[in-house]
Amino acid sequence: MADPKTSAPKLKNDEIDTALVRSLADILNDTDLTEIEVERGDLKIRVAREVTMAAPVQYAAAPAAAPAPAPTAAAAPASMPSDPATIVPRSGEEVKSPMVGTAYLQASPEAPPFVQPGDKVKKGQTLLIVEAMKTMNPIQAPRDGVVKEILVGDAQPVEFGEPLVLLEA
């Protein structure tokens, strides 16, 4: 290989060796390098390219397809009546969701519901389950009573503190 000091053309102080800069740029384009630097005596040439990376795309996992719930009278009403005189106050004790999740009225799609309106329940008996973070959490009756109304539908998303079941003495 030739000695760079002897093969380099003599340059004036203000003159730049454009052929050298172009060859360095070609090296950057042909390789994965982002910068290259060459020194010849007092001359120092650095060629760099800015590499912009696209922001990583984040995908949310699609929710698991749940079987379409059968229409039931137990589903919560879609909207509140506009006339306050038509609002009927609920009597009984509301059993509320202790977490955000998905309510299920039966243990599996083939299984019968845990409870139905009119069923007598004992304290600690499972009324339904709320799935949160892949964990099935049984919601138990806080006391003995009769299920007056189920306020949520099967596979329905629920919020913390949302009433799930109405119990009466």
Is residue 125 scored above 50 in pLDDT? yes
Q: What percent of the chain has pLDDT over 90?
A: 44
Choice among 62-66, 76-80, 155-159 with the minimum mean pLDDT? 76-80
Structural contact between residues 162 and 120, judged by C-beta atoms closer than 8 angstroms = no
Is residue 83 scored above 80 in pLDDT? no
| 51-79: average pLDDT | 53
Which two three-digit tokens encode residue 155? 């596979």
Residue 9's pLDDT is what?
53
Which two three-digit tokens encode residue 72? 């039931």
Q: What is the pLDDT of residues 130-154, one digit of tens each?
A: 999 999 999 999 999 999 999 999 9
Q: What is the pLDDT of residues 24-59, one digit of tens each?
A: 888 877 877 778 888 878 878 888 877 665 555 555
b (16+ CB within 10 A) / e for 46-74: ebeeeeeeeeeeeeeeeeeeeeeeeeeeb
Ranges assigned E (strand) in the chain:
35-40, 43-48, 93-96, 101-104, 120-121, 126-132, 135-140, 145-150, 156-158, 163-168
Is residue 12 scored above 90 in pLDDT? no
b (16+ CB within 10 A) / e for 120-156: ebeeebebbbbebeeeeeebebeeebebbbbbbbbeb
The average confidence (pLDDT) of the chain is: 78
